[in-house]
Amino acid sequence: MKFVLDPKLENDSSFICDLTLTQVRLSHNAAFAWIILIPRLPNMVELIDLSVSEQEQLLKEIRLASHIMRTLFQPTKLNVANLGNVVSQLHIHVIARFNTDLAWPQPVWNSGVHQEYMNSEKQQRISLLVNAFMEP
Amino acid sequence: MKFVLDPKLENDSSFICDLTLTQVRLSHNAAFAWIILIPRLPNMVELIDLSVSEQEQLLKEIRLASHIMRTLFQPTKLNVANLGNVVSQLHIHVIARFNTDLAWPQPVWNSGVHQEYMNSEKQQRISLLVNAFMEP
């Protein structure tokens, strides 16, 4: 079995990079600094569908993503979540939240807050994140 | 410095048990099978405020909680999340979601869905969970 990215996840986000376990993607909702980590393994739904060593690797990658998001955006709070009620394929949101953002203090999902990136902005944000993830 | 539970978390949930790192509590929202893990350390806000070994212990306890919630409730999907936009003290939600629950597929927070436990129901659920967490 091969890893195939869920079509909705693919449509709603852009590729940033592949880490050891996960693919990192940028959410297309420009209202938030929002990335998504998707383990590149077939048929994963729950965190506990991963083996213990895969969970530990996921934790490492969540830690890296959290440090990067905190350093780049200096948010009020990070939101780190696996929900999966709409897209069941296992994916973890890492979102930099601000007490000034349009959904604060509510969660971003179902907030009704959505903005489109201009193409140049999206490319700029992707480059920023690629560089951060690729740093030694 | 001592660990002090945030007053809102304390008010909105009941004690289930203390694990090695976290205090496990039952949310008072009876619309959902919903527990909360709070690392018993002072001044923690983000997952990455924990040391790496504390994060690994937290992962173990999230894994235990996830297995227990899946076994006891057999949900459609587990939601595992650290948000903290309202209560900044680090806490992780582990929620058993059903495609028949009143908020599905939206997140539980800000869903407007809230039910009160009858006292006997709450005690029953706490006992169920205490027994599950205390099993060898």
Interval A84-107: pLDDT, tens:
999 999 999 999 999 999 999 999
Is the residue at B1 inside a domain? no
Q: How far is B127 from chain A (nearest CA, A)?
A: 24
Task: Enter the ipTM.
Answer: 0.97
SS3 B97: strand
Residue A87's pLDDT is what? 98
Is the residue at A1 inside a domain? no
Q: DSSP E strands: which ranges in chain B? A: 13-18, 22-27, 33-39, 77-82, 92-97
Q: Which of B35, B83, B90 is nearest to A107 (CA)?
A: B83
- pLDDT digit string (tens) for B88-121? 999 999 999 999 999 999 999 999 999 999 999 9
A68 in Cβ contact with A132 (< 8 Å): yes
Residue type, A132: A
- pLDDT digit string (tens) for B39-70? 999 999 999 999 999 999 999 999 999 999 99
Give me Rg for the CA atoms of chain B: 14
Q: Which chain A residues have a beta carbon less than 8 Å from that of B45? A: 77
Q: What is the CATH number of the domain that holds A96?
A: 3.30.428.10
Is the residue at A45 inside a domain? yes
Residue A21's pLDDT is what? 98
Is the residue at B106 inside a domain? yes
Alpha-carbon distance values, A31 to A2, A7, B93 (Å): 33, 22, 24
Asked if the Cβ–Cβ distance from B47 to A56 is below 8 Å, we say no
Q: Domain total for chain B?
A: 1
Asked if the Cβ–Cβ distance from A84 to B79 is below 8 Å, we say yes
Q: Which chain B residues have a beta carbon less than 8 Å from that of A45? A: 77
Residue A136 has pLDDT above 80, yes or no: no
Q: Which chain A residues have a beta carbon less than 8 Å from that of B77? A: 45-46, 83-85, 88
Of residues A110 and B92, the one with the higher pLDDT is B92
Is the residue at B103 inside a domain? yes
Which of B85, B87, B88 is the best residue to mutate to test the A interface, defined by the most A CB atoms within 10 Å of its own CB?
B85
Q: Which residues of A touch B (CB under 8 A)?
A: 45-48, 52, 55-56, 59, 62-63, 66-67, 70, 76-86, 88, 97, 104-107, 109-111
Is the residue at B2 inside a domain? no
- Does this model's pTM top 0.90? My answer is yes
Asked if the Cβ–Cβ distance from A77 to B46 is below 8 Å, we say yes
Residue B13 is part of which domain span?
7-134
Report residue A125 as tokens. 């944000």
